Amino acid sequence: MLKIFEQIGRYFMLMGKVFSRPEKISIYRSRVIYEMEALGMNSIGLTAIISVFIGAAITLQMSISLESPFIPKYLIGYATRETMTLEFSSTVVALILAGKVGSNIASEIGTMRITEQIDALEIMGVNSASYLILPKIVATVLFFPFLTLLSIMIGSIGGYAIALATGIMIPDDYVEGLLFDFKVYSVVYSLIKIAVFAYIITSISAFYGYYAKGNSLEVGRASTRAVVVSSIVIMIFNLILTQLLLT
């Protein structure tokens, strides 16, 4: 238990260093753009592939389960949209990105630590925590909401495609369900969640990489711990944010 509190304390001390005033804004701006490409753009393909199949699977399962003549078919499209918007495209996408982006951040910074590159930055008078971590946090918090919007859109298209390909329901009914009782706040809720999750993934992964010790095996262990802890914290904050924003 004491070790947990020690880790939490070290985490907040590191975040204090991360959010100190940057020395040169122009350098940070170029690094944010670079990190957007490295951490965000490179995740578009994975997000799109998973979203289209999940949207198709939800539509297929709903069509099979809701076979009662008393249940309007357009509710299948409505259920697919709500599932993608409220939960999958924010929480589940965040868990997937925790594995891809989180492990990448932890291993990159961890490698810099064990090869003494971070020590070299400190000797040159550079705030290594802010220089290495802040652009990653800004990039993911700004870019991950775009991935969520993309996931919602592609998941909905996946549902339409499976309805069209299998004939399990009339595509027009599916589209009617997508438009039924649409609330903009549902999308806003999803974007708020993914922004919080982006910060969690990036900061926790950077924390474990920054304090990695030993050899390359320790970097691998730090990456694993980063993904596990990020995933647990995401699920905890998912409950908290749902309670705060939807009740």
- 3-state secondary structure labels for all residues of 40-52: HHHHHHHHHHHHH
pLDDT-derived band at 128, boundaries 50, 70, 90: confident
pLDDT confidence of residue 110: 92
**Four-CA torsion 230, 232, 233, 235, nearest 10 degrees:** 120
- What's the pLDDT at 171? 81
Tell me: pLDDT of 109 over 90. yes
Mean pLDDT of 15-29: 82
| Tens-place pLDDT, residues 36-53 | 998 889 899 999 999 999
Residue carrying structure tokens 């705060």: 244
Rounded to whole angstroms, the Cα distance separating 231 from 225 reads 10
Read off φ and ψ for residue 189, nearest 5 degrees.
-60, -45
pLDDT in tens, 78-87: 888 988 998 8
Q: With CA atoms as reference, report the closest residue to 150 among 96, 84, 229.
A: 84
pLDDT confidence of residue 180? 87
> 135, 28 in Cβ contact below 8 A?
yes
pLDDT tens across 203-220, in order?
999 999 999 887 878 888
Report how far Cα 132 is from the mean position of its chain's Cα atoms: 19
**Confidence at residue 178, expressed as pLDDT on a 0 to 100 scale:** 86
Of all residues in the chain, what percent carry a pLDDT higher than 70? 99
Instruction: Tell me how crowded residue 113 is: count the other CB atoms within 10 A of its CB.
Output: 22
pLDDT for 29 equals 86
Q: Is 80 exceeded by the pLDDT of residue 71?
A: no
Indicate if the pLDDT at residue 21 is higher than 80: no
Tell whether the model's pLDDT for residue 94 goes beyond 90. Answer: yes
Confidence of residue 121 (pLDDT cuts 50, 70, 90): confident
Q: Return the higher-pLDDT residue of 156 and 2.
A: 156
Confidence of residue 122 (pLDDT cuts 50, 70, 90): confident
* 8 A C-beta contact, residue 207 and residue 10: yes
In this prediction, residues 166-175 reach a mean pLDDT of 83
Q: With bands split at pLDDT 50, 70 and 90, how would you rate the model's confidence at 76?
A: confident
Q: For residue 119, what pLDDT is reported?
A: 87
Give the number of other CB atoms < 10 A from CB of residue 64. 10
pLDDT at site 213: 86
Burial status of residue 165 (CB atoms within 10 A of its CB: 0-12, 13-18, 19 or more): exposed
pLDDT at 172 over 80: yes
What pLDDT, on the 0 to 100 scale, is given for residue 28?
A: 83
CA distance 22 to 19: 8
